[in-house]
Amino acid sequence: MLQRMEVFDGEKVIEEFEELTRDAERVQVETLKKILEENGWAEYLQNLGLNGRTDPQSFKECVPLATHDDFEAYIQRIADGDSSPVLTGKPIKSMSLSSGTTKGRPKFIPFNDSLVETTMQTFLTSFAFRNRQVPIGNGKALQFIYSSKQFKTKGGLAAGTATTNVFRSPKFKSMMKSIQSQCCSPDEVIFGSDVHQSLYCHLLCGLIYRDEVELVYSSFAHSIILAFRTFEQVWEELCSNIRDGVLSSWVIDPSIRAAMSKLLKPDPELADLIYKKCAGLSNWSGLIPELFPNAKYIHGIMTGSMEPYLMKLRHYAGHLPLMSADYGSSEGWIGPNVNPLLPPELTTFAVLPNVGYFEFIPLKANAQDQEQEGAQENKPVGLTEVKIGEEYEIVVTNVAGLYRYRLGDVVKVIGFHNATPELKFVCRSNILPSINIDKISEKDLQLAVEAARNVVAAEKLELVEFTSHVDMSSEPGHYVIFWEISGEAKEEVLRECCNRLDKAFQDAGYVSSREVKAIGALELRVVRKGTFCKIMEHSLSLGSTMNQYKTPRAVSSTNTTVLHILCSNVVNSYFSTAF
């Protein structure tokens, strides 16, 4: 159903989306059939006895629920050069690298042209709905996007992050040019060798085209914040570059310098204008519309682990609306945001029923039921069988060789768009290890941090970043929360923050365990400025890109490098006295 046209017709795209979602159940059956017809004789499925059958019942009876660990040996064989039908009928010719957020290391994920097609369909659909609400013209987009270098696996397959694979696709690049404002930055900046040089030049390109910028975009909200935090530090240098028409000497990437030399010309008038605007801002509030007067909105993923950044993003955005981008993962897309004017906290995603085959594992409402020894996991239900108000873990069968793959995402069904569910992302499942009978989710952590950050906010300080760790080095084990804040806070303020964090965890297992001292006092460790930037640099060194990087909200003991970065930069530590 992917629309192929030289001139983008948003209403036609929406019409196709409405048709797909009205008959979501039939489309799901057809999607599974197509996937199995193309891949049914692959080794993985043959070993499970599917024998070419393509109906949902046979598929579920033969193929078990799986995680990446179940596929890892098969994927490694492909990466090492096995061109036989291991997971798919047609050979996999490239690999994606996941962000590595969950386990602290990137993992290989099969990538093919079919995933590019589903990405294009998702982007087309969301853009059609977004452009219906807030049309953009023939201006430019300030896009903070980055692409890592591709490399070759042992077997000679091209490998890179999922975003890199997509951005390098000629089909995708052509499609983006047809539907969206032209990126301010040339490809050489996007594909630059160093993220800091690329970020600086993204900002510079945006300023050069400031009157033409219609939207500001990055994959994740935190990347936009990083960009304008950087701007706060380098704005005078940027003005100097514009005034003289000469790029800073520390930008040494030859391809970036060559590309920027074609754009950068002496413009003292523009430099003076930007300088006056920046000098007149007391706390950088409304910075984005001040710099880009014709910008209409800010776009990027703003849900889930990005929600803690919304306060700062709104600070920079001023009156501009924040439009949350679509729901997907390195393993593939799930659904677009078809209600773009909803605030990010209320954003939902309508599942596209033809981009994969979806199942949903119901999550028991009673957390104690989940703890009962031997309790049976709920049976997955189909896309159209989910119930409004209930929470589920998503299972996906994608177009690139992953079958009944547990994404590890928890979603809540908010409603239906025709016959397809509208999902709200809740959190990653079981992201924090358990100490006793506690079950602290990523959402629980976010809410606790939000309660405590109000204390430092009252002191005119900002919580820059945070993460957590379960310390089992002594009995009983206890939770550690690492904070980076914008300035020095008084000791009594930080002690209050520590107590607020501890009391804010409402999980019954945690509260009861704290009361009987089965879990020790929560510890707040304040780290030096720049600590989380060091963690980001470490992740980028492992092959991630800024497009995919997310601060890990839980750091396990096995993630020794990140834990060492955190612990070696602690400046103060406080223990809760709340219980």
Q: Which residues on neighbouring strands pair with residue 471, listed in sequence order?
A: 478
Q: Which residues on neighbouring strands pair with residue 282, listed in sequence order?
A: none
Backbone angles phi, psi at 483, to 5 degrees: -125, 140
- C-alpha dist (Å) from residue 220 to 67, 150, 308, 429, 432: 25, 21, 12, 20, 22
What are the tokens at 124?
């087309």
Per residue of the chain (579 residues), give pLDDT as tens.
444 445 678 899 999 999 999 999 999 999 999 999 999 899 999 999 998 899 999 999 999 999 999 999 999 999 999 989 999 999 888 888 775 544 555 688 898 888 888 888 998 999 999 999 999 888 899 999 887 677 788 888 888 777 777 766 777 766 666 665 688 999 899 888 888 999 999 999 999 999 999 999 998 999 999 999 999 999 999 999 999 999 999 999 999 999 999 999 999 999 999 999 999 888 899 999 999 999 999 999 999 888 889 999 999 999 999 999 999 888 889 999 999 999 999 999 999 999 999 999 998 754 444 444 444 568 999 999 999 999 999 999 998 999 999 998 999 999 999 999 999 998 877 666 788 888 888 888 989 999 999 999 888 899 999 999 999 988 899 999 999 999 899 999 999 999 999 999 988 889 998 998 999 999 999 999 999 999 998 888 876 677 778 888 889 888 899 999 999 999 999 999 988
Q: Is-contact 356 31, C-beta < 8 A? A: yes
**Residues 6 or more apart from 574 whose CB is under 8 A from it?**
491, 494, 495, 497, 498, 523, 524, 525, 526
Q: How many helices (H) and strands (E) does the chain have?
A: 21, 21
* DSSP-based helix, strand, coil % in the chain, nearest 5: 40, 20, 40
Locate the DSSP E strands across 202-331. 213-220, 297-301, 322-324, 327-329
What are the tokens at 566?
């955190």
∠255-210-310 over CA atoms, to 5°?
Answer: 95
Single-letter amino acid, residue 513: S
